[in-house]
A = this chain, B = another copy of it.
Amino acid sequence: MSAREPLYRAIANQLQDRINAGEWVPGERMPTEAVLVAEFGVNRLTVRQALAQLRAAGVVDIRQGSGTFVANPPPVLEITVDPGRQVDEGSVHATVQSVVSDVTETVLGEEPDPSPAAAKHLAIDPADVKRLDTLVEAGGDPFAVSSYWLDRRRFPDLAARWVGDAALHGVLREAYGITLFYSWRAFSAAAAGPVEVEQLGGLAGAPLIVRDGVSVDSDGRPVYYVRRRIRAERASYVMHYRT
C-alpha cells in the first residue's frame, strides 16, 4: 500500500468511516474544527485539509459561521431522454417545467468564437462561428448554462429576437421557421471552472453533468452545436427503453 499516508488523508478517511458508520446522520452537524484539532492532536490547517477532501467529494457541507454538516443528498431532477422523439423540443425545459413552473432562459452574451470543434460540427468556416450563452433559471435559482454555437451569417440577430422566457428551439421556430431535429447527443462530466462557478454557484472543481449535441433542420443541415452544463447534484439524464 502507501508507505506513508498523509495525516490529513488519514483523518479524512477516518471521518468518512465514522459518517458511514452513522455516527453523524445526513444533515447533522459534525464537531467543529477546534474540536477535531483537539481530538486528533493536529494543526487546524491539517483538519481543514481533511474536511476539504470530504467537501470536494460531496460528503460534507461546510458553512461559514455555522458549522460542518453531513451532506444531505438533494433529490435529483430526472431529465427524460426519449431516443424515439427526434424533434428537438427542449428536454430540459419540458422536464423542469413539470416540477417548477417558473422557468426562464435568458441570454448571457453573444460573441464571435472561432472554435474549430464547433466549426467542424456545423460544417462551416471557423470565422463564421458565433457563440451564444444562456442561463436557465428555475424558481429564481440558476439551473443550467448552455452555450450554442451557430452560423452568424444565418442568424445575425438571434439575441435580439430572444424573448425572455422561451427556449432556443422556440425562438428558432417562431423567428426563423425552423423545426429542429436531434442529430446526436453526448453525455460527459467536467469540473466547474471559475466561469461556471459564477454562473451556477457552487465550488470550483465541483462536478458538472455535461450534455453536448447537434441539432439539424428538416434538410439535415446543422443548425447549432450545444453544450449544456448542470451541477451534478441537481440532475441526471434518464433514457427508458421500449420493451
| Residues B208 and A205 in contact, CB atoms below 8 Å apart | no
User: Which listed residue, B53, B184, B191, B206, touches A241 by the CB 8 Å rule?
Assistant: B184
Verify if A240 is at the interface (C-beta below 8 Å from B). yes
Known A-B contacts A186-B239, A207-B232, A236-B186; the reply to A191 vs B83 at CB < 8 A is no
**Which chain A residues (32-68) contact chain B, with CB distance < 8 Å?**
53, 55-59
Q: A53-B204, A53-B205 are in contact. Are A193 and B16 (CB under 8 A)?
A: yes
- The answer to whether B204 touches A189 (Cβ under 8 A) is no
Q: Once the chains are docked, how many angstroms separate the CA of A9 from the CA of B185?
A: 34
Q: Provide the residues of chain B in CB contact with A209, threshold 8 Å.
A: 187-189
A232 CA to B189 CA in the complex, in Å?
Answer: 5
Q: Give the chain B neighbours of A78 by CB distance below 8 A.
A: 186
Nearest first, the 3 A-B pairs at minimum CB distance are A56-B205, A83-B83, A188-B236
List 27 A–B pairs whose Cβ atoms lie within 8 Å, in order of A's numbering: A16-B193, A53-B194, A53-B204, A55-B205, A56-B56, A57-B194, A58-B205, A76-B188, A78-B186, A83-B239, A83-B241, A86-B241, A86-B242, A182-B241, A184-B241, A185-B238, A187-B187, A187-B209, A187-B237, A188-B236, A188-B237, A189-B189, A189-B190, A190-B207, A191-B206, A191-B207, A220-B243
